[in-house]
Structures are given as C-alpha cells and as structure tokens.
Structure 1
Amino acid sequence: MIIIDGSEGEGGGQVVRNACALSLVTGQPFQIINARGGRDKPGLMRQHVTAVEAACAIGGATCDGLSVGTSEITFNPGSVSPGEYHFAVGTAGSTSLVLQTILIPLLLADAPSRIVLEGGTHNIYAPPFDFIARSFLPVINRMGPTVDTKLVRHGFYPRGGGRIEIHIDPAPLQPIACEERGAELSQAATATFAALPREIAERELKVVRKMLPEWPDDALAIRELPEEQGPGTILVLEAAFEHVTEIVSGFGKLGLSAEKLAATAANRMKGYLASNAFAGPYLADQLLLPFAVAGGGSFTTVKPSEHCRTAADVIARFLPVRCTFAESENGSHLVTVQ
C-alpha cells in the first residue's frame, strides 16, 4: 500500500487525480492522508469526489472514505474497462480535471471509449476546454493514441452546466521529445461572454491591443454566447507554433475588473513568448504523467512550478521513472523523464 501525504508539495487536488490514474495503470493501491492539506479549505471538494468516482467506474476500483470534505481515502484498483461513460460534477467543478484522472488509463485500454462530462468547462483554477483541446491533446495524439473532443456547451463558474464529449482510440504511449516549438504561425485573442454587457469583452481586448501590439487586429475577436450559458466571461490568448500551441486564459469573477483580467493573461503570454520553451507552465504540469507512463521523453518549459515538481514526486511513488529538471543558459528548463 502506497501512503501519500496530500499536504506535501503544492498540497492540492492534483495529488489525488494523479494517484488515481497511476493506481489504475500500475495496479497498486494507495492511501492519501491530509488530502488537499495545502489549501485554505482542505479535504475533497465535489469535483475531486467526482474524479475519484469516475476512476472507480472505469477501473472497477473501490475507494473507502470517499465523501465531500474528507481528508483521507483508500483506493483499491481493479481492471480498466473501456466503453461509454457519463459523469456529471453537479456544480461548476472542472470537467477538465475529471478527464485528467481517467484519460491515461483509458488510453491504454484494449478498445475505444466515449466519455461525456458535465460541469464547468471554463472556470478558475483549472485548465479550460480550449487548453485541453488545442494545447494538451495534440501532444497526446503525437504519442500514439487518437483523442477527439467536442465542446457542446460552455459552463462558467458558478453556474456550471457545461458539457464536453471525448472519443478515445487507445494505443501504447510512445516516448517523444518536445524541445523545440518551431516558428510562430498565428495568434488569436478571443473574449467570450454570456449574460454580461458586451463592453466587458471590449475592455478586455483593448488591454490586449495595448500589451501585445504586434498581434494584428484581425486576431482579436468577441464571441457572445446564449444568455442561458452565463453569466460568465473568459479571455483566451492563443499562440500557435509549428509543434505546439500555447493557450493562456483569464477568467471573470466578481470584484475582478476586465482590465486586470486581461493584463494578467497578457503578461503570462508575454512571458511565454519571451522564452523559447516548448511548454508553458500548465502544459508542463499535464505532460509529466503521460511521459512517465510512456517510460521516457523530454520537453522544455519555463520555470517549473511547485505543481509540476509535486506531480513528479507522486509519479515516482508508482513508477520506476525519474523526472529531472535542468535549467538552460537561456532560462528555459529541460525536463527529462527516464
């Protein structure tokens, strides 16, 4: 039995999600104590419980102690069964984070799967659908499997109600090297809103024009969604390169001005563009797990986050792989899984 202290490292829900995925892949049971012990409100939230329930459903697993607010669970894996599954978070909890929990085991299954996830698709503290579809999954597809995903309906915080559909054609994960992003191909800034004044989106793009003046005017767009999908707003900045697409997002919330939302997102994009790294900080977090399951690979990134280093620590508990982080002279970091 692998024992994990969920308060160590960045102390968040990623520890739970990665542990579930790795347990299903390796067949090793685990116990987590102090789950999300590094958060202001420790213990599992609804989206974490749904993620574990999804892992149990696809993997014939059992989980003792699972409930909202719990800080200790014991997970016993079974055999992964591909098929059709439907999971609803029930709030604006992230559909992307539930997908993160079950994707890798289903990539290694012996038949295709179709997954429907309902909940939040564009909410703070989680990668939005755009990132999953255009930044993360293209790298996964380079490794062997084929994963297609479709956004059926947006789900903003706090209402939720979003829906995504995923089709997975499994294949063994092959190690790849992702060290060069290639030439920049295009840029896009999209301010999406629902059940809010249009001028909020206009103010967001005004800041983008000022902070990213090299981006052409025709790269900036406003998208209005039906009122029933709101209220909510998200600014998505996209820089497409030959080998990777970086997605940076800014989420609207009460008390946060459109200007500050856009400035934070634009600064993050400027930081990525100033480097020559393949992966931004959020993509780096997501790549460690599939690279470890593949048994190797490498990628360059900006300064690795505590989130990323914690993921490496959890992986080492389940798999005989080692993740190393080496800073280059140009300031980027080479991450090697071996």
Structure 2
Amino acid sequence: MDANDFVEIDGSYLEGGGQALRNALSLSCILGKPVRVVKIRANRPNPGLSHQHLHGLDLLRDITNADVVGNVLLSTKVEFTPRTILDNTYRVDTRTAASITLIYQMALPVLLFAGRSSRLIVSGGTNVAFAPPVEYMQQVLLPNLKRFGAGFELKVQQYGFYPRGKGTCQLDVQPVAKLNAGQFMDFGRINLVSGVGFCAGRLPVNIAIDMQQTAQREIHRLWPEQECTIETVKHSPEKTRDNGAGILMTANTTGGVVLGASALGKKRIDGHVLGSEASCQLAEYMRKEICVDDYMQDQLIIYMALAVGRSRMRTGRLTKHTRTAIHVAEQMTGVKFDVTVEPGGQTLVTCEGLGQLNKLI
C-alpha cells in the first residue's frame, strides 16, 4: 500500500501513552481507514507496545481481518489496514494482569458497528493500576453510553489483581445503526451517592468496612443530609484467590448525570486511606457540579466524534488523555471539537459528529 494512503498518528503527542494508539486503531476499524501510529508510548519508561496494547491490537486485527505490520512486543511503529468488521465470539487471554477494561475500550466502539451481536471474553486484570476498574465500566461508562443510544452487558466471571491477573470478564455488544448525539449539560440535584468497597484473598473484611465508614463520613461532613450507601463485599475464593482491595463510588443526579471515583489498594492497604481518596475525589466533582468526571472525559470523545448531530459535555479541566483523544479524533475523522472554559471553571466541549452510519445493518 502506498505510504500516502495511511493516516499517520504521532503516539508521543501530549499524553504519550496508549491513548493515541487505542483511539487511532478503533477509529481506523470503524472508518475503514488505514492508519500508521509512530512513536508509540514514547513518554513511558518502557516505550512501545506492552502486553496489553499488543493483545488489543491483535484483537482488532482479528475483528476486522486487518493487515498489520509491527505487532510485536515493544514495537514503536504500527501500520494497520482494516477490512470489514466481523461479528463473532472473541477470546483474549493476556496471561498477565494486563487491564481487561482497556482492551474492551479498544474493541467496544468497533463492535457497535458490526452487523450482529458479538461476545468478547478477556482474561487478565479486572482491577489494576492506571486503568478503569471493571466496576467503573459497569456503573459509570454504561449509563453514559446510553446517552448515545449504545450499550453493552458486562459480566465478571472472576476478579484479577496485580501481579497474577487471572480475572475473566464477558462483554456482550449489540450493534447500533448510528450513535445519537450525547448531551451532558444538566447537572440537576444530587439524587443518590452509593458505592462498593471490596476485598479479596487473605485480606480481612475489616478493610472494606474501613473504606465504607471513612467514605460515608467524608460525604456526610460536606452534605450532612445526603444519603450515602456503600456496600462492603468480601469476594469468595470462587471469584478470586488473590489479594485485592478497592472502592468505587458513584453519584447520580436528577439531570441523569452519573459520576464515578475509585481507589485501588497497593502493597500496604489502608481502607481508611482508600475510602478518603475516592470520597474526596467524588465530592470535588459534586461540588463543581460537572456532568462528566475526569476519567469519563476521554472515553466519550470517540463517541462524540462518530455521532449524528452535535454532542455537548460540561466537565472539569481537560486531562492530557482527553486532549490526546480529541487530537486523534480530529485527525482520523476530520471533525472539529470546540473547547471553552466557562467562568465557573467548568469546561464545555462540543462537537458536530461525523454522522457515521453502520453499513452492516
């Protein structure tokens, strides 16, 4: 293929991690455009494709019967030429604690434009550092995607933590004829604050209880009348044999807003610290009355770019991940994102979408 046929994406731009690669490949599959990604993860201590990115790349190769050059570990350049999107049941076993949710992040938009329903079973890490926990995907991403007329069903068969992974999830995706423009503008009033604190393996349930009590105390300190319900869970040995702990908190508003904040236990786990971290982050979103949290911003960009009509979201300061996602979406689709910082410190992001139609339905 002629070099001029490829859209070239600089993977070192802004965030300089896996974000540019993930979004460029997803959009390549949906649009049928060959893409060349260079300087992959240039800003990371170990540049190039990691296990997680390589598994995601090979998965998209299989989904679109693509021609690929550079799909080897630590490769800093990839050329990807997709054909058509094939609905099927796909399986990925990372054999590590590579993030399951980041692999899903690459494949989900693509499978929405398949001809029929698809199933994707991935084994790896469900709750690992530098990636959305699986609970965030279920409880925050799903309701936000419904604003675009899209959805999925995600089941956790086993949980997996660093360093062994061994978690397994099943994602079922129904295709859409098109994506509707998403509107994330009306905060409304806080309706419900809830969450789940979990622990697993040899860790005592008291860690989850510490998370619960500290998180509730923080919310009630700022909003004394606000109901805050946090469930505590000790995962059974059938669900996971390894040690792990974390918390996800969500806030739902009368405007249909769903915000999420999470914290994950590392080597020395203190439930009070985790509960405080998640609740303080969520409280800051609630105080600012934003409609899209920091970790949802970048995930919505690809859907805004593809939608029919003008999407709008009111969020906080844009993260590097989000600015990178905007840059890649504009290069791949030709759409334009408008970003305005409002007087109250909120950021308004709008985009007249490409209006991509599913040609396979």
Please, what TM-score do these two structures have when normalized by structure 1?
0.94
CA contact (8 A) 1:156 1:229 kept: no
Alignment correspondent of 2:304: 291
Give runs of aligned pairs for residues 47-126 of structure 1, distance below 5 A. 47-126=52-131
- Write the distance in 1 (CA, Å) between the matches of 2:333 and 2:119: 27
1:63–1:75 Cα contact (<8 Å) kept: yes
Residue deviations 1:281-327, cap 9 Å, x none?
Answer: 11111111011011531111111111100100011111021112111
Q: Is 1:181 equivalent to 2:187 in the alignment?
A: yes
Would the aligned equivalents of 2:147 and 2:183 in 1 still touch at CA under 8 Å?
A: no
Contact 2:117 2:173 in 1 (8 A): yes
Select the residue among 247, 266, 275 that pairs with 2:279: 266
Shift of 1:159: 2.1
1:19 corresponds to which letter in structure 2?
A: A
Deviates more, 1:252-261 or 1:232-241: 252-261
Residues 125-144 of structure 1 mapped to structure 2, 5 A cutoff:
125-144=130-149
- Supply the distance in 2 between the matched residues of 1:37 and 1:229 (Cα, whole angstroms): 35
Query: For residues 138-217 of structure 1, what are the structure 2 equivalents within 5 Å?
Result: 138-171=143-176, 172-195=178-201, 196-213=203-220, 214=223
Q: CA deviation at 1:158?
A: 1.8
Count matched residues.
338
Bigger CA drift: 215-224 or 5-14? 215-224
Identity across aligned pairs (percent)? Answer: 27
Give the aligned partner of residue 309 of structure 1. Answer: 323
When the two chains are superposed, the root-mean-square deviation of aligned CA atoms in Å is 1.8
1:26-59 deviations in Å (ceiling 9; x for gaps): 1211222211111122111111111101111111
Could you tell me which of 37, 42, 50 is aligned with 1:45?
A: 50
Residue 276 of structure 1 pairs with residue 289 of structure 2: yes
Distance 2:141 2:213 in 1: 28
Q: 1:217 to 1:292 in 2, by over 3 A?
A: closer
Matching residue of 2:235: 225
Does the 8 A contact of 2:192 with 2:227 survive in 1? Answer: no
Q: Is the Cα contact below 8 Å between 2:205 and 2:233 reproduced in 1?
A: no
Counterpart in the other structure of 2:8: 3
Give SS of 2:171's match: strand
The more displaced of 107-116 and 49-58 is: 107-116
Contact 2:219–2:228 (8 Å) recurs in 1: no
Kept in 1, the 8 Å contact 2:216–2:229? The answer is no
Kept after mapping to 2: 8 A contact 1:153/1:229:
no
Residue range with higher mean Cα deviation, 298-307 or 167-176? 167-176
Residue aligned with 1:73, SS = strand
1:144 offset after TM fit, Å?
Answer: 2.5
Flag the 1:218–1:307 CA change in 2: closer, same or farther, 3 A.
Answer: closer
SS of the aligned residue for 1:122 comes to: coil
SS in 1 for 2:152: strand
**CA shift for structure 1 position 218:** 6.7
| Deviation of the 1:217 alpha carbon | 7.9
Give the C-alpha shift of residue 84 in structure 1: 1.4
- The structural deviation recorded for 1:202 is 2.9
Tell me the TM-score normalised to structure 2 length. Answer: 0.88
Deviations 1:53-93 (A, max 9, x none): 11111111122111222211111111111121112222111
Q: CA deviation at 1:185?
A: 2.1
Could you tell me how far apart the structure 2 residues matched to 1:337 and 1:112 are? Answer: 28
Q: For the residues of structure 1 that align with 2:151 and 2:273, how far apart are their CA atoms?
A: 38
Query: Quick one: distance in 1 between partners of 2:16 and 2:264?
Result: 23
- Report the AA paired with residue 188 of structure 2: G
